[in-house]
Amino acid sequence: MIYFSPVDINTYSTWLEIDLQAIKNNAALIREKTGAEVMAVIKANGYGHGARPAAQAAIAGGATWIGVARIEEALALRRGGISSKLLVLGFTPAAKVPEAIEHNITVALFDPELAQNYLDYVNIHGGTLHAHLKVETGMGRLGMTPELVAPFLEGLKDTALDVDGIFTHLARADEPDSDSTPRQLAIFDALLADLESKGLKPERVHAANSAAVLNFPQSYYDIVRPGDILFGMSPTGDTLPDGFKPALTWKARIISLHNFPAGQGISYGSTYVTSKEERIGVMPTGYGDGFRRAENQQVLVDGKRVDIVGRVCMDQCMLQLDSVPDAKVGDEIVIIGTQGDETLSVDEVAKRWGTINYEVVCGLADRLPRIYNE
């Protein structure tokens, strides 16, 4: 892991700076706001921020669980020394059950047949597999339909498959005025009451993603499962409540500069041609880094917005620097983040790309150095 130092910063031409204090702060804020246990969801390499450092920072901020999508992500965290409780939220192949048991990783259950396969592996391997049961209440994705849950749990009593949690996922928690979330929670609550009356209710209950943490206190139960807001991003792109801090800055340096005469084509296809003498800089960042090949993009140089001109290449793109006549090779460029008085938010980039902040950060390539600012 690379920690921030001025020397490191001079070493790279394009890099991410990750503010671990921001992640820690956001985790603590969520814990305080909800009063629930916090399961920091750090799937997809911690939303691009780096899974292990993000997990460590969230734990430092009070998170007691880590949630991931795949067992490979959970195993990598264990190898990286993360010893907190870990839940795989998505599908775990039955053949991975022995590893889940060895490394004390909790899996999600959503299908009685798959659970039977798990149990076969548990019985061969020995030990106990911990699982949280996922219930379908309106997401239309993974989850057991509520009617199946009680008989299913009854059937697992006294087996080595220990269902010590139950959860559901909300489809529209980013819409505070929709009745979708209250309807989902009503279905979930009715099931929980039924299980309680039958002595089958698992110990831990959870439902809230980031949007629900912001909008639906009745969804907090025992554990909340935020991802986006943990990194200081907003599930809707609207401003977050006071106190949340974005953790990510994406920077680069100008690596070359030309004063081209009029008529110079810039980049593949010469889709941009200089109309007069123009100052064109090269930014060593392209779609191979997760910076999309889109038109009409801007970055910050010397605290000013400058246009990207011509097509974005795999490893480079070009900047029109006429408004920054003093710009020189080595100057810092901000792709996402703040420079001087200007900010380019991850949501502005998302809008440009016709997507959401989640997809922007998940697309940050492995080859980008991540520098951790503690």
Quote the CA–CA distance of 293 and 317 in Å, as a whole number: 9
313 to each of 308, 316, 329, how far by Cα in Å? 11, 5, 19
| Residues 6+ positions from 205 with CB-CB distance below 8 Å | 165, 166, 167, 192, 221, 222, 223
Quote the CA–CA distance of 252 and 357 in Å, as a whole number: 20
User: Closest approach of Cβ 207 to ligand PLP, in Å?
Assistant: 9
Query: Catalytic pick from 24, 43, 134, 251?
Result: 43
Interacting span for ligand PLP (CB under 6 A) from 96-104, 112-120, 225-233, 347-355: 225-233
Check binding of 225 to ligand PLP (CB under 6 A). yes
Closer by beta carbon to ligand PLP, 210 or else 215: 210
User: Closest approach of Cβ 26 to ligand PLP, in Å?
Assistant: 11
Check binding of 41 to ligand PLP (CB under 6 A). yes
Question: φ and ψ at 273, to 5 degrees?
Answer: -125, 130
| Residues 6+ positions from 206 with CB-CB distance below 8 Å | 36, 39, 132, 165, 167, 221, 222, 223, 224, 225
The residue sitting closest to ligand PLP, measured at its beta carbon, is 227
How many CB atoms lie under 10 A from the CB of residue 267?
18
The pairing of strands 14-19 and 248-253 is antiparallel
Check binding of 226 to ligand PLP (CB under 6 A). yes
Identify the H or E element spanning 245: none
Interacting span for ligand PLP (CB under 6 A) from 55-63, 203-211, 259-267, 365-373: 203-211
Tell me how many residues contact ligand PLP (CB under 6 A): 12
User: Closest approach of Cβ 112 to ligand PLP, in Å?
Assistant: 20
Work out which of 19, 228, 278, 347 binds ligand PLP, going by CB under 6 A.
228
Check binding of 210 to ligand PLP (CB under 6 A). yes
- Is 43 a residue of the active site? yes
Check binding of 169 to ligand PLP (CB under 6 A). yes
User: Closest approach of Cβ 321 to ligand PLP, in Å?
Assistant: 37
Quote the CA–CA distance of 258 and 244 in Å, as a whole number: 41
Work out which of 181, 209, 234, 249 binds ligand PLP, going by CB under 6 A.
209
User: Closest approach of Cβ 351 to ligand PLP, in Å?
Assistant: 18
Check binding of 130 to ligand PLP (CB under 6 A). no
User: Closest approach of Cβ 54 to ligand PLP, in Å?
Assistant: 12
- b/e code 278-307 from CB counts within 10 Å (16+ = b): bbbbbbbbbbebbbbeeeebbbbbbebebe
**Contact pattern from residue 75 through residue 114 relative to ligand PLP, giving x for each residue in contact according to CB under 6 A and a dash for the rest:** --------------x-------------------------
Closer by beta carbon to ligand PLP, 44 or else 129: 44
41 to each of 226, 255, 308, how far by Cα in Å? 6, 36, 34
At which residue do the structure tokens 């691009």 appear?
A: 48
The DSSP bridge partners found for residue 273 are: 265
3-state secondary structure of 190: helix
- Is 304 a residue of the active site? no
Closer by beta carbon to ligand PLP, 37 or else 228: 228
Query: Which residues are near ligand PLP by CB under 6 A?
Result: 41, 43, 89, 169, 209-211, 225-228, 235
Question: What positions carry a catalytic annotation?
Answer: 43, 268
